[in-house]
């Protein structure tokens, strides 16, 4: 698993460990991060450096779940080239490594539900039109296309399109932790208000613990060459998210819209359809949004 020490990686390692799957975790460049809990073997590799990647032995590996890369969509507007070269480059290096070593592990490529056409009819299915609305989404579409190319080279590839995922352990740069951190700062007298971006936008949120369960099931039961949405099937606004946070913290800070937090392009409403993954793997979201917010608020209080 690449990105083993990231937000999603930490939850996924635990999920795999609990189902008796041995995990070789790959983190960032040497010295940049500690070994995650539950990893059977841990490597620190700069996946953009082909020389470092060449040191990875894929011969005993049955499957690769590729999580590593740049993931904050908002930041991609200021660094489009970095996102495209990093996210596509890392994946390409991994496939090329497997080719050179003569092995073909099953490959689960993690894309995104944000690459659909904003004007496509809802709910979004895997057959909905694709028009990326950020450099991040462009990079993810590139990853999908590279996976499809390598499938033609003999790889067993499954593509996951997770929609917004949230939960304990998520760092700043995403709406839920950004709002929670500010509300707690207000609660503790460290801030006088909450600054927000576009709270009118409605998104499809799924607990990260449900997301990683979907990844495991796709690794085990997903069909070669198929694309799968991972989503709740519901849309929730930023206002509703903030209300849940306020209910959980029992505090009511003043809220002001901050122009610097507004994105150059922002789809008003977006939610997906998880019929396909449910049919092929039995997966369905199981954790209620209110419980996710409660656990994430508790995580930030502990921090």
Q: What is the pLDDT of residues 140-169, one digit of tens each?
A: 999 999 999 999 999 999 999 999 999 999
Instruction: Assess if residue 53 is contained within a domain.
Output: yes
Cβ atoms of residues 132 and 117 within 8 Å: no
Model confidence at 32, pLDDT cuts 50, 70, 90, reads low
Model confidence at 260, pLDDT cuts 50, 70, 90, reads confident
DSSP at 40: S
Domain coverage including residue 59: 7-167+206-234+271-286
The answer on pLDDT for 264 being more than 70 is no
The rounded distance, in Å, linking the Cα atoms of 303 and 290 is 20
Model confidence at 299, pLDDT cuts 50, 70, 90, reads very high
Instruction: Assess if residue 22 is contained within a domain.
Output: yes
Cβ atoms of residues 208 and 165 within 8 Å: yes
The rounded distance, in Å, linking the Cα atoms of 245 and 57 is 45
Q: What is the pLDDT of residue 74?
A: 85
Query: What are the residue ranges of helices labelled H in 76-207?
Result: 80-101, 135-152, 175-187
Q: What is the pLDDT of residue 259?
A: 82
> 256 or 30: whose pLDDT is higher?
256
The rounded distance, in Å, linking the Cα atoms of 251 and 264 is 31
Q: What is the pLDDT of residues 217-238, one digit of tens each?
A: 999 999 999 999 999 999 999 9
Q: What is the pLDDT of residues 101-124, one digit of tens each?
A: 999 999 999 999 999 998 999 999
| C-alpha closest to that of 228 among 57, 113, 89, 106 | 113
> Domain with 100 in it: what CATH number?
3.40.50.720
**What value does the mean pLDDT take over residues 7-31?**
92
Q: H/E element holding 237?
A: strand 236-237
The answer on pLDDT for 14 being more than 90 is yes
Provide φ and ψ at 81, rounded to 5°. -65, -40
Instruction: Assess if residue 184 is contained within a domain.
Output: no
Instruction: Assess if residue 172 is contained within a domain.
Output: no
**What value does the mean pLDDT take over residues 77-85?**
97
Instruction: Assess if residue 294 is contained within a domain.
Output: no
The rounded distance, in Å, linking the Cα atoms of 122 and 139 is 23
**224 CB burial (10 A radius; 0-12, 13-18, 19+):** exposed
The answer on pLDDT for 265 being more than 60 is no
Domain count, the chain: 1
Q: Please report, in angstroms and rounded to a whole number, the separation of the first and last CA atoms in the chain.
A: 26
Instruction: Assess if residue 194 is contained within a domain.
Output: no
Cβ atoms of residues 135 and 265 within 8 Å: no
Instruction: Assess if residue 200 is contained within a domain.
Output: no
Instruction: Assess if residue 162 is contained within a domain.
Output: yes
Provide φ and ψ at 173, rounded to 5°. 115, -5
**What value does the mean pLDDT take over residues 264-291?**
92
Which of these ranges, 137-151, 186-200, 265-279, has the smallest mean pLDDT? 265-279
């Amino acid at each position: 698993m690449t990105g083993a020490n990231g937000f999603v990686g930490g939850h996924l390692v635990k999920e795999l460990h609990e189902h008796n799957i041995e995990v070789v975790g790959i983190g960032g460049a040497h010295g940049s991060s500690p070994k995650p809990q539950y990893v059977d073997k841990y490597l620190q590799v700069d996946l953009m450096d082909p020389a470092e990647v060449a040191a990875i032995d894929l011969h005993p590996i049955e499957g690769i779940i590729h999580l590593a890369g740049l993931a904050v969509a908002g930041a991609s507007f200021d660094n489009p080239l970095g996102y495209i070269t990093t996210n596509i480059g890392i994946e390409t290096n991994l496939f090329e490594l497997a080719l050179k070593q003569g092995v073909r592990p099953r490959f689960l490529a993690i894309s995104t539900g944000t690459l659909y056409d904003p004007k496509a009819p809802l709910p979004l299915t895997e057959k909905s039109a694709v028009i990326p609305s950020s450099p991040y989404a462009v990079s993810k579409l590139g990853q999908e296309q590279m996976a499809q190319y390598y499938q033609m080279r003999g790889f067993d590839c499954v593509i996951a399109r997770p929609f917004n995922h949230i939960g304990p352990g998520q760092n700043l740069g995403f709406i839920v932790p950004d709002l929670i951190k500010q509300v707690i700062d207000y609660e503790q007298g460290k801030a006088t208000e909450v600054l927000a971006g576009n709270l009118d936008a409605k998104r499809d949120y799924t607990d990260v613990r449900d997301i990683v369960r979907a990844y495991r099931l796709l690794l085990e039961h997903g069909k070669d060459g198929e694309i799968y949405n991972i989503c709740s099937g519901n849309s929730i606004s930023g206002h509703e998210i903030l209300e849940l946070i306020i209910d959980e913290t029992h505090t009511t800070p003043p809220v002001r819209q901050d122009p610097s937090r507004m994105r150059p392009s922002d789809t008003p409403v977006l939610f997906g359809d998880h019929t396909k993954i449910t049919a092929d793997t039995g997966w369905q979201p199981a954790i209620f949004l209110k419980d996710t917010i409660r656990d994430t608020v508790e995580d930030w209080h502990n921090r």
